[in-house]
Amino acid sequence: MKSILLAGAVVAAVFGMASAPVQAQQNWPSQNITLVVPLAAGTGMDLISRIYAERLQQALGRPVVVENRPGASLTLGAVAVSKSEPDGYTLGVAAASVLTSNPILKKSVPYDADKDFMPIALYAKSPFVLAVGAGLGVSSVPEFIALAKKRQAAGNPLSYASLGPGAVQHVSMEMLKLQNNVEIMHVPYTSTPQAVQDIMSGHVAAGFTEIGAALGLINDGKLRALAVGSSKELPVLPNVKPVAEVGNMPGFELESWHILLTNAKTPRPIVERLQTEMRKIMADKSVQDRITNMGLVVNDGGSVEQINAFVSSETKKWANFLRILKLEGTQ
């Protein structure tokens, strides 16, 4: 009899242990949610993340607290998410470089881009614009290339700003240089606002930059937009053609994007709940307008599998560019 009772107790305990995670999922969320942003407060990514946090808080009835963890090429935020409990209470925002270029560019990164994260939503794309100061005297990519070649021949090459080797701005311009057989001197910067300011003032001739950072100056006539790095024209920059069309770079497209992630082992029902809420938020016209006005493009990344497939294709594209430019493992 004792053995029967003992066996029954063991079975009950096992079933109790098995039902605990299920119960936790059913009761989710039962505590505050943290949204880790890998950039400082006030940046475009931070502002969009706060829109999402506010709307998600309303939908779930629990506080969603934004936690800024800038630094280390966006890896601090990624590490925080990768090492969090897989319970859906820690979410993170990442830019494209976290999952695509950083693991190729750097000798090592403190996370596994393929295994540590579960995508929730690829909710915005961040195109770049090739901008020059109004005083440079060019209004198209062919004119810019012609001037660059003239200055190169005279031993006084043009210069361009970027956020350093391997960044979208750097890779975009280096590919433009390579495709058009021209030399333009690279000047690395630590911040986008300073780079944009120096392009406007003529300290450097040009640069690919985030549209949101340059849009006001373009509209004021202080910067000229020569081309966009996206595959098609953008509503905020009408009549500015893709660099693929006007820069002798057929098929070229290079842009960043914003993706919402959580720990890879987070239960799928929680991920699907978050995806559902995110779709509702991103379908709101007022949210779409706020994102578009920042120079970003609203995007519906689809299912987990579709997002993973997109990220995989982007990683292959970045690997190709970085290989061509001999930047693999250089950091």
DSSP-assigned letters across all residues of 37-53 = ESS-TTSHHHHHHHHHH
| pLDDT tens-digit map of 207-252 | 999 998 899 999 999 999 999 999 889 888 999 999 999 999 999 9
The mean per-residue pLDDT over the stretch 302-322 comes to 94
Report yes or no: 196 and 224 within 8 Å, Cβ to Cβ: no
- Judged against a pLDDT cut of 70, whether residue 275 lies above it is answered with yes
| pLDDT tens-digit map of 144-196 | 999 999 999 999 999 999 999 999 999 999 999 999 999 999 999 988 889 99
Report yes or no: 247 and 180 within 8 Å, Cβ to Cβ: yes
Which residue, 148, 18, 97, is CA-closest to 259? Answer: 97
pLDDT of 13: 55
Rounded Cα–Cα distance for residues 48 and 160 (Å)? 29
Mean pLDDT of all residues belonging to the chain = 91
Q: Beta strands 117-126 and 185-188: pairing type?
A: unpaired
Q: Where are the domains of the chain?
A: 30-126+255-324, 128-246
Q: Does domain 128-246 have CATH number 3.90.1170.50?
A: no
Count the Cβ atoms, other than its own, within 10 Å of residue 189.
21
Fold: same for 30-126+255-324 and 128-246:
yes
pLDDT of 300: 82
Q: Is 26 exposed, middle or buried (0-12, 13-18, 19+ CB in 10 A)?
A: exposed
Report yes or no: 187 and 161 within 8 Å, Cβ to Cβ: yes
Count the Cβ atoms, other than its own, within 10 Å of residue 323.
11
- Judged against a pLDDT cut of 60, whether residue 255 lies above it is answered with yes
Rounded Cα–Cα distance for residues 139 and 227 (Å)? 10
- Judged against a pLDDT cut of 70, whether residue 5 lies above it is answered with no
CATH T-level topology, domain 30-126+255-324:
D-Maltodextrin-Binding Protein; domain 2 (3.40.190)
User: Edge-to-edge strands of the sheet including 223-228?
Assistant: 185-188, 159-162, 206-210, 128-133, 223-228
Q: What is the DSSP letter of 328?
A: T
